[in-house]
Amino acid sequence: MGDVLVTAPDAEHGYELLAQAGPLAAQVGGKVVYAALGDQAAQAKEFATRGAHRVLTCSDPALTPYQTEPYTEAYLQLIEKVKPSIVLIGATIRSKDAAARVATKLEVGCGCEIMNLRLDGGRLTGERVYFSGRSLATERLLKDPQIATVPARLVDAPAPQGAGGSVEAVALKLTPPKAKIVKREKKESGSVHLEDADIIVSAGRGIKKKEDLKLAEDLAAALGGQVGCTRPIAADLKWLGDAHWIGLSGHEVKPKAYIGLGVSGQIQHVAGMRSSKIIVAINKDEEAPLVKISDYAVVDDLYKVVPALVQAVKKARGQ
């Protein structure tokens, strides 16, 4: 028996972890405790109404912006205070580093980017993708606290419900970070933010000329989605910027629908879009790997299919 301590560097990710923590806490006979650190203290009530029995807040200045050392200290002190049996931390580049340090200090394991969380034999268990998606490993945490970092967008965030749990401010003893952040600049990505897109139309080398990217743009506009692409389109041909690049060395996306236009579906691309809810392939080769993994495939020339599809979508949506 023990509580489930949950925290994530961004609130939306935190809500999703609360959805996954609830059933685990019920099974271990504990409570869900959410740690709203830094700026998140302002949203404490939101966490309380979305599944946290107890929300602990700390807005110590050392916690904003994120830096590894103060967060490591904060996680360790929260674990000391809550004594959880399970700790779920949102897996992002801003937290996986601290999670690993915490696990090392406590001499316990740390599951990294674990999906499909469950208890098996009473231990926290889940899957992790290895080798760009070629292999799936099942990992089980053997020592308490069982620490796992969990990717975003695996489940829907729970809707707010009722009055929710309690909120209490905690004082943590944090050392000011050794590194000083002198400047922060937003990375130029124009209006493209594929990680947030519900629908992505992805352009591959089946598109023959830069001007023909309009096919992908028109379909994305008709569907209210964004344009993504394979590495050759962004890195070799430079027809689109890096913000559009999906895959192992590009962006990892999890849209509700991914539509690949002339995308072969090599493993390095699939590594970045395999968690899409619905995968559609438009490819003239029925043996293309993306066709094989797709939910729906149109095996035909994209130059013929896409304009007709755009017209059909516009008509259906009254555009």
Ligand X SMILES: Cc1cc2nc3c(=O)[nH]c(=O)nc-3n(C[C@H](O)[C@H](O)[C@H](O)COP(=O)(O)OP(=O)(O)OC[C@H]3O[C@@H](n4cnc5c(N)ncnc54)[C@H](O)[C@@H]3O)c2cc1C
Nearest to ligand X of 78, 302 (CB atom): 302
Q: Which of 87, 83, 84, 86 is nearest to 71 (CA)?
A: 87
Q: Which is nearer to ligand X, 54 or 231 (CB)?
A: 231
Query: How many other CB atoms are there within 10 angstroms of residue 69's CB atom?
Result: 17
Shortest distance, position 141 Cβ to ligand X, whole Å? 30
The structure tokens listed for 213 are 């990217």
Q: How many CA atoms lie within 13 A of 74 on its CB side?
A: 32
Q: Which one, of 37, 28, 40, 36, lies nearest residue 4 by Cα? A: 28
The pair of three-digit structure tokens given for residue 65, joined into one six-digit string: 């912006």
Q: Which window, 49-57, 98-106, 173-181, 198-206, contacts ligand X (CB under 6 A)?
A: 198-206
> Please, which residue, 39 or 252, has the CB nearer to ligand X?
252
What residues are paired with 35 via a beta bridge? 56
The residue within the footprint of ligand X, chosen from 30, 51, 84, 204 (CB under 6 A), is 204
CB-based closest residue to ligand X:
247
Binding segment toward ligand X, per CB under 6 A, in 30-38, 113-121, 165-173, 201-209: 201-209
Instruction: Count residues binding ligand X (CB under 6 A).
Output: 25
The CB-of-214 to ligand X minimum distance in angstroms stands at 15
First to last CA, the chain: 56
Nearer to ligand X, 177 or 289 (CB): 289
Residues 6+ positions from 112 with CB-CB distance below 8 Å: 91, 96, 99, 100, 128, 148, 149
**Nearest distance, CB of residue 236 and ligand X, angstroms:** 9
Phi, psi for 127 (deg, rounded to 5): -105, 150
Footprint of ligand X on 207-266 (CB under 6 A): 230-232, 246-250, 262-264, 266
Q: Which is nearer to ligand X, 72 or 283 (CB)?
A: 283
Tell me which residue of 155, 183, 137, 146 sits closest to 27, measured CA to CA: 146
Per-residue mark of binding to ligand X, 280-309 (x: CB under 6 A): ---xxx--x------------xxx------
Which residue stretch of 19-27, 148-156, 179-187, 204-212 sits at the interface with ligand X (rule: CB under 6 A)?
204-212
Instruction: Indicate the residue type of 41.
Output: A
Q: How far is the CB of 222 from ligand X (least distance, A)?
A: 19
What span, in angstroms and rounded, lies between the C-alpha atoms of 84 and 70? 20
CB of 153 to ligand X, least distance (A): 18
Residue 210's SS3 state is: helix
Given the rule CB under 6 A, which residues bind ligand X?
204-206, 230-232, 246-250, 262-264, 266, 268-269, 272, 283-285, 288, 301-303
